[in-house]
């Protein structure tokens, strides 16, 4: 077999001088799988175009191009970020879009002169934390749209020189307050994300911000209405809201030892912090599994005693203790906890309405945890009647529960998803007067790219069109429960409460949820589909309209006051 001549001469391409006399070389659209060896002799090369080839890696010899400033690697076959790029310390612009990258090299912090980084249309599910290194403070433009990001790290505030940040067409469910610390930011693109609110001090702190792209974001009405009239109007609206919150002492500012930036947080001063309601309609399933497996876990609806320590292995817990372990965590976080089991659909509504009619003036928050069977956007009681989730959250809207206005209302849901046959057998009578099928179809844009893996649950509005709500929801497939010997609680809610117990006093609640959801998504669950076994994952979602960070304990415990 004849040896392929990998040389620039064989490709009939010659380097040339650009308008500013820098040495350039175009090798785009050449179907290259390897770089021509004589490229590395062009020591003065400053501009290299390798777009639209079949490259999967770059040789170590690339480091000889020490004066390279512009590098184009778009539309190749890269799965990993070549470490040799980090040796190009004079590189100013790196275009790496339309590959299959999931991470970047740790040594990217050596590229201190980098000003533009294009990672758009790759396979990132997490924002590369390596980019947030203070050594990359010269970065002015980051393009990472068209990936599958669900959140941003708080360390993004380290990029003090950032002027353009394009995050469009991802799965971002919330934006960190630290985004407001990018004081040089002029152009922010968050379009085509399921984000529902903006950091509360974004308008005030980002004085250089001129463009904010938010097309196809389901922002709550106060935010979207203000943005229709431009960024300046957003600033005015946010300033008014924050001034009222500061005057009422609803917001306080927290500074951690490692970070100089003050973080706006919901005030947590009262004892108890607020009411927490646990509605457990999965207890019958646990009892059924216990009978089948002979584990001896009794089917009881009594509340039982309080656990004196952390949650132990689910198999060692009685039925009552399975829920009481969750109850114990909430008690440790200073909440007045009520546990209800086996509620019919109308009873769920009645129980929450009763709570909403109470006086919450002396409380700082509300927590609702619902464990039930259901389907997308609905929960079912043992009576087989469906209740729309947004109907439950709306019970605590500003209009329906004014004493909780401007305070965080937190909903944690684990839904055991019924299959199609089970749903058809159950009554779809809903306590709603009408059941609008268009609402259940969601609002997905017909132009949304097929590459996106957005959870369809995020196309439904499950929280009111108002601020200060947080809802997390995990749909667990019915056949995963049938085939598993693990407790039904272990798939999501138990993982969540274990980390809440450990970190709620130290970390922002949304950061904890992001960690929990990443862990849950990594789990592989076997299910039985016909005669075959499939492996699936659980994809929890977050819908948040919280204005500030939530720490389920106050920073200065000396300022607490007792509620009613």
At residue 114, does pLDDT exceed 60?
yes
| pTM, 2 dp | 0.84
Could you report the per-residue pLDDT of 346-366, keeping only the tens digit for each? 999 999 999 999 999 999 999
At residue 180, does pLDDT exceed 90? yes
| pLDDT one-digit tens code per residue, 531-551 | 556 778 889 999 999 999 999
Lowest mean pLDDT among 165-179, 248-262, 354-368: 248-262
- What pLDDT is recorded for position 488? 72
pLDDT at 450: 41
Question: b/e per residue, 282-307, with b = 16+ CB within 10 A?
Answer: bbbbbbebbeeeebebebebebbeeb
Is 215 exposed, middle or buried (CB count within 10 Å of its CB: 0-12, 13-18, 19+)? exposed
Predicted local distance difference test score (pLDDT) of residue 537: 82
Going by pLDDT thresholds of 50, 70 and 90, the confidence category of residue 458 is confident
Confidence of residue 259 (pLDDT cuts 50, 70, 90): low
**Rounded Cα gap, residues 235 and 180, in angstroms:** 12
pLDDT of residue 157: 94
Q: What is the pLDDT of residue 386?
A: 92
pLDDT tens-digit series, residues 63-113:
999 999 999 999 999 999 999 999 999 999 999 999 999 999 999 999 999
Q: How far is CA 452 from each of CA 155, 222, 344, 449, 456, rounded to the nearest angstrom?
A: 25, 28, 37, 6, 11
Closest-CA residue to 181 (of 202, 153, 208): 202
Alpha helix positions (H), 267-307: 283-293
Cα(500)–Cα(510) distance, integer angstroms: 11
Longest dimension (CA), the chain: 87
Residue 553's pLDDT is 73
Q: Which residue has the higher pLDDT, 310 or 115?
A: 115
Q: Please give the pLDDT value at position 535.
A: 78
* Residue 47 vs residue 448, higher pLDDT: 47
Tell me: pLDDT of 517 over 90.
yes
For residue 32, the model assigns a pLDDT of 95
Q: How far is CA 169 from CA 71, 99, 309, 469, in A?
A: 25, 16, 44, 24
- At 12-23, the pLDDT tens digits run 566 666 656 679
Domains and CATH numbers, the chain: 16-265 (3.80.10.10), 270-429+454-562 (3.40.50.1460)
Question: Among 48-52, 72-76, 486-490, where is mean pLDDT lowest?
Answer: 486-490
pLDDT of residue 479: 74
Question: What tens digit of pLDDT does each residue of 297-349 get?
Answer: 333 333 433 233 333 333 434 455 567 788 899 999 999 999 999 999 999 99
Residue pair 408/550 in contact by the 8 Å Cβ criterion: yes
Residue 287 has pLDDT above 60, yes or no: no
> pLDDT band at 254, cuts 50/70/90?
confident
Q: Could you tell me the two tokens for 200?
A: 């509360």
Give me the pLDDT at residue 144, please: 98
pLDDT > 50? residue 471: yes
SS (H, E, C) 479-513: HHHHHCCCCHHHHCHHHHHHHHHHHCCCCCHHHHH
Say which residue, 431 or 3, is predicted with more confidence. 431
DSSP-derived secondary structure letter, 158: G
The pLDDT, as a whole number, for residue 530 is 57
**Segment 512-528 mean pLDDT:** 86
Quick check: 194 and 545 in contact, CB under 8 A? no
Whether 380 shows a pLDDT value over 60: the answer reads yes
Range with top average pLDDT, 3-12, 232-241, 302-311: 232-241
State yes or no: pLDDT of 433 exceeds 70: no
- pLDDT at site 493: 86
- For residue 412, what are the contacts with CB-CB under 8 A and spacing of at least 6? 367, 368, 369, 370, 472, 493, 496
pLDDT of residue 457: 76
Q: Would the pLDDT of 421 be above 50?
A: no
């Amino acid at each position: 077999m004849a040896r392929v001549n990998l040389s620039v001469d064989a490709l009939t391409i010659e380097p040339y001088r650009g308008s500013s006399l820098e040495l350039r070389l175009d090798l785009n659209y050449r179907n290259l799988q390897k770089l021509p060896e004589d490229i590395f002799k062009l020591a003065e090369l400053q501009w290299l175009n390798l777009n639209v080839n079949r490259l999967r890696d770059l040789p170590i010899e690339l480091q000889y191009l020490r004066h390279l400033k512009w590098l184009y690697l778009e539309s190749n076959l890269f799965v990993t970020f070549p470490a040799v790029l980090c040796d190009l310390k004079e590189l100013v612009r790196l275009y790496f879009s339309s590959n299959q990258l999931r991470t970047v090299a740790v040594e990217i912090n050596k590229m201190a002169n980098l000003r533009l980084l294009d990672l758009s249309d790759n396979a990132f599910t997490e924002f590369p934390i390596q980019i947030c290194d203070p050594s990359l403070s010269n970065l002015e433009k980051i393009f990472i749209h068209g990936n599958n990001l669900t959140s941003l790290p708080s360390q993004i505030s380290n990029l003090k020189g950032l002027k353009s940040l394009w995050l469009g067409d991802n799965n971002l469910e919330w934006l960190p307050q630290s985004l407001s610390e990018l004081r040089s930011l002029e152009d922010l693109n968050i379009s085509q994300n399921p984000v529902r609110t903006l950091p509360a001090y974004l308008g005030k702190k980002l004085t250089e911000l001129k463009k904010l792209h938010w097309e196809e974001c389901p922002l709550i009405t106060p935010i979207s209405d203000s943005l229709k009239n431009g960024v300046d109007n957003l600033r005015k609206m946010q300033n008014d809201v924050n001034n009222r919150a500061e005057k009422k002492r609803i917001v306080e500012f927290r500074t951690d030892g490692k970070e100089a930036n003050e973080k706006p947080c919901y005030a947590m001063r009262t004892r108890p912090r607020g009411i927490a309601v646990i509605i457990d309609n999965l207890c019958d399933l646990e009892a059924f599994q216990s009978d089948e497996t002979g584990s001896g876990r009794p089917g009881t609806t009594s509340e039982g005693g309080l656990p004196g320590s952390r949650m132990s292995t689910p198999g060692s817990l009685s039925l009552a203790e399975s829920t009481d372990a969750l109850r114990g965590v909430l008690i440790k976080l200073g909440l007045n906890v009520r546990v209800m089991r086996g509620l019919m659909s109308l009873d769920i509504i009645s129980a929450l309405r009763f709570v909403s009619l109470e006086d919450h003036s002396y409380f700082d928050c509300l927590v609702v945890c619902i464990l039930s069977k259901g389907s997308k956007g609905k929960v079912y009681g043992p009576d087989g009647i469906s209740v729309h989730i947004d109907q439950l959250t709306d019970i605590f809207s500003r209009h329906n529960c004014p004493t909780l206005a401007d305070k965080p209302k937190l909903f944690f849901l684990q839904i055991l998803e019924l299959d199609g046959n089970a749903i058809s057998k159950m009554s779809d009578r809903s306590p709603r007067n009408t059941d609008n099928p268009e609402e259940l179809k969601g609002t997905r844009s017909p132009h949304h790219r097929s590459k996106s893996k957005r959870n369809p649950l995020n196309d439904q509005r499950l929280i009111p069109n108002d601020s200060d709500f947080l809802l997390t929801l995990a749909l667990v497939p019915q056949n995963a429960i049938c085939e598993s010997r693990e407790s039904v609680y272990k798939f999501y809610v138990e993982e969540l409460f274990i980390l809440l117990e450990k970190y709620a006093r130290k970390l922002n609640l949304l950061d904890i949820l992001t960690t929990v959801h990443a862990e849950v998504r990594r789990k592989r669950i076997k299910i039985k589909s016909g005669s075959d076994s499939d492996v699936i994952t659980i994809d929890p979602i977050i819908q948040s309209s919280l204005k500030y960070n939530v720490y389920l304990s106050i920073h200065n415990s000396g300022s607490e006051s007792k509620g009613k």
